[in-house]
Chains A and B, each alone.
Chain A
Amino acid sequence: MTERYRSHSLSVLLFVVALALALPACYTLIKHPRTQQLDYSRPSDNRCRGCHSDRQIWSFNHASAPRPNTGRYGDRWTRYYDVPWWYEPFWDYRVPPALLSAPPSDRPALPTDGRRREAHGVSTDDSGAVHTTG
């Protein structure tokens, strides 16, 4: 019985220690170091792109998937799985059906500059950056 309680106590201790380490995670930022409020909802006036590339911005909220998960889930599932709800105005993710049905080689060339808000589609290049298509 003593052995059992020692084992049980050790499990609880490990659990609590792990919890204590996990909660104040250093990677996840709820508050921006120099910005007062989240501003994804105003991409035309956003301050994110002033300091960060699109690829960085994408990867900030996709630690476990630095690119859109189109490889795993397909384009149709991308919005379901990969676009944070508070992020959606920033990444306009409604991919035109015509673009989805076209083979990749027939897709229109993707712009690579930072002015993408007016676009309707999205894809990635080899570097993992996220692009939209107009």
Chain B
Amino acid sequence: MRGAALTTVHCTRNRESMVRDFAPSRRRRRYVRRGHVLLALASAMIFFAAGVHSQDINRTVEFEDLGFTFPLDVGARPAGMAGAYTAVANDAYALLYNPAGLARVKRVELSLGLEQQRKEIGSVFFGNPTGIDTRDGGMDNVSLAFPFPAYRGNLVGAIGVHRVFSSYFNIHHSGTNETTQTIDNYLFQQTGSVYSYNLGVGVDLAAMLSGGVSFFLLDGSIDALRQFDFTYIDFVPKTSIFVKEDAASDLDGYGGRIGAQFYVNRLLSGGISYTTPVWMKIEGSSVVEIVEHRDNAPDNYTESREPIESEYLLPQRVDVGIVFSPSHALLAVDFGYADWTEAAIDRKRFRDGNTLETIFREAFSVRVGAEGDLPWLPLRIRAGYAYRPYALDYLQADRIDNDALTKATVNGERQQFAFGLGGLVGDMLAIDGAYSHVRGERSLATLEEERTSDRFVLTASYRF
């Protein structure tokens, strides 16, 4: 944290100097609107997803940018049912969805998975539409579950590496900013993934009750490139400022999960899973380059290196699920709850300084998944729907200034549609595939934004 404070002071001077010389209108606006120019300028200077800057509600967007508010559905079978897996889990993926489900694994299981994802953010910035997409992919999971021979009940240990957060994120805003009277061009490109290294155990606690726990360590690397320029419309001589921030950082974190599954009868069973608050730390460094261009004058170039150090706290989470399993089919429903107002950066929560409203909100999610066997083939088809509301119903109208975080109108809460197919090769190899589509829309007076993603997951699970 000491590093963060030093960085803030250092960058504030650079930015303030830059703005004083070349950008009076933007600086004036900050004085008027925020009354704390040092804080705001510091944020503007070194903002990027993994960046370090002073505590500011605008930093809440980092949770979204880094993918923390939208964990990936690991495994093709769960993904094909939109993640409605709390009560269904009976394989190595139980490590993530409900560790009690490990107790239902009867054979040694090795699972491997790959995924491919495309995310698109379409924005209308002061009436100017822009769109940019991001593609990422790679390993979805490697999991191993080992049931210990038992006379009665089951005791199953499991380990796994799962890609839980995708930090791939591109966003582009371009247009005439009527608020600052500038022509803005903003591009933010971020790559990186966060992997969860899980260790868990599931055990039958009673004839109809299983329990399980898992611990996980998070590890990831995130690179971010932020480039923007703005030109003052009414400033003579014509003045433009170009900024490039290149950052590389590593993430570490930890958390735990505990769950239970209960068997009511042949048709009905249920599950509950509790995930502890997740602590994460991001450390790294960034290089900030600023070019000030003024007509009829030499360019002014500055470069600085900044350390990055921030702690993030994700809220605890509870998922409750039931599964109805008539012959050759199952229907699962999950309800999830996370109080995102508990989220914090550097041990501080976020609250609007004017309205005292919390920036994050409580999020209730609902997931519904179905699976059916094809009686004439060793195939299963799946479908799912999830209502996964935004943890943050605010948008940042001006990412160049890194301020103007404003409560947004949620035109369409985030919804997920999923389909999947699974087949058995021989007796012991299951091949599953899933496709999911996610869409959500929010808007402000000056910004409209639609985020969509399409994701494919392919997994192979062999039971020995």
Task: Identify the A interface with B (CB < 8 A).
Answer: 1, 4, 7-8, 11-12, 14-15, 18-19, 21-23, 25-32, 35, 38, 40, 59-61, 63-67, 71-74, 76-77, 79-87, 94
A101 to chain B, nearest CB (A): 9
Given contacts A64-B269, A86-B147, 11 further A-B contacts (CB under 8 A): A7-B277, A22-B258, A25-B211, A29-B151, A38-B149, A38-B151, A64-B104, A64-B204, A64-B208, A79-B427, A80-B424
Measured CA separation A59–B428 after assembly (Å):
22
Q: Is the CB of A63 within 8 A of B207?
A: yes
Q: Is the CB of B107 within 8 A of A84?
A: yes
- Residues of the B chain whose Cβ atoms lie less than 8 Å from the Cβ of A63: 103, 153-154, 204, 206-210, 263
Measured CA separation A80–B201 after assembly (Å):
20
Chain B interface category by residue count: 35 or more
- Let me know if B393 is at the binding interface, CB within 8 A: no
Query: Known interface pairs A4-B347, A19-B213, A28-B155. Does A61 touch B106 (Cβ–Cβ under 8 Å)?
Result: yes
Measured CA separation A59–B348 after assembly (Å):
51
Hey, what's the 0/1 contact readout for B295-329 against A, CB within 8 Å counting as 1?
00000000000000000010010000000011111
Q: Is the CB of B106 within 8 A of A77?
A: no
- Residues of the A chain whose Cβ atoms lie less than 8 Å from the Cβ of B211: 18, 21-22, 25
- Let me know if B18 is at the binding interface, CB within 8 A: no
- Let me know if B373 is at the binding interface, CB within 8 A: yes
B128 to chain A, nearest CB (A): 41
- Residues of the A chain whose Cβ atoms lie less than 8 Å from the Cβ of B147: 84-86
Q: Is the CB of B103 within 8 A of A85?
A: no
B320 to chain A, nearest CB (A): 16
Q: Is the CB of A71 within 8 A of B328?
A: yes
- Residues of the B chain whose Cβ atoms lie less than 8 Å from the Cβ of A79: 427-428
Q: Is the CB of B106 within 8 A of A7?
A: no
- Residues of the B chain whose Cβ atoms lie less than 8 Å from the Cβ of A18: 211, 213, 258
B256 nearest in chain A by CB position: A15
- Residues of the A chain whose Cβ atoms lie less than 8 Å from the Cβ of B153: 25, 27-29, 60-61, 63
- Let me know if B378 is at the binding interface, CB within 8 A: yes
B25 to chain A, nearest CB (A): 38
- Residues of the B chain whose Cβ atoms lie less than 8 Å from the Cβ of A26: 205
- Residues of the A chain whose Cβ atoms lie less than 8 Å from the Cβ of B154: 28, 61, 63, 84
- Residues of the B chain whose Cβ atoms lie less than 8 Å from the Cβ of A28: 150, 152-155, 203-205
Q: Is the CB of A27 within 8 A of B206?
A: yes
Hey, what's the 0/1 contact readout for B193-232 against A, CB within 8 Å counting as 1?
0000000010111111111110000000000000000000
Q: Is the CB of B373 within 8 A of A74?
A: yes
- Residues of the B chain whose Cβ atoms lie less than 8 Å from the Cβ of A11: 276-277, 316
- Residues of the B chain whose Cβ atoms lie less than 8 Å from the Cβ of A23: 201, 203
Measured CA separation A11–B90 after assembly (Å):
26
From B150, B205, B373, B430, A29 is in contact (CB under 8 Å) with B150
Query: Known interface pairs A1-B347, A63-B207, A63-B208. Does A72 touch B151 (Cβ–Cβ under 8 Å)?
Result: no
B5 to chain A, nearest CB (A): 17
Measured CA separation A79–B152 after assembly (Å):
19
- Residues of the A chain whose Cβ atoms lie less than 8 Å from the Cβ of B149: 30, 38, 40, 84, 86
- Residues of the A chain whose Cβ atoms lie less than 8 Å from the Cβ of B263: 63-66
- Let me know if B330 is at the binding interface, CB within 8 A: yes
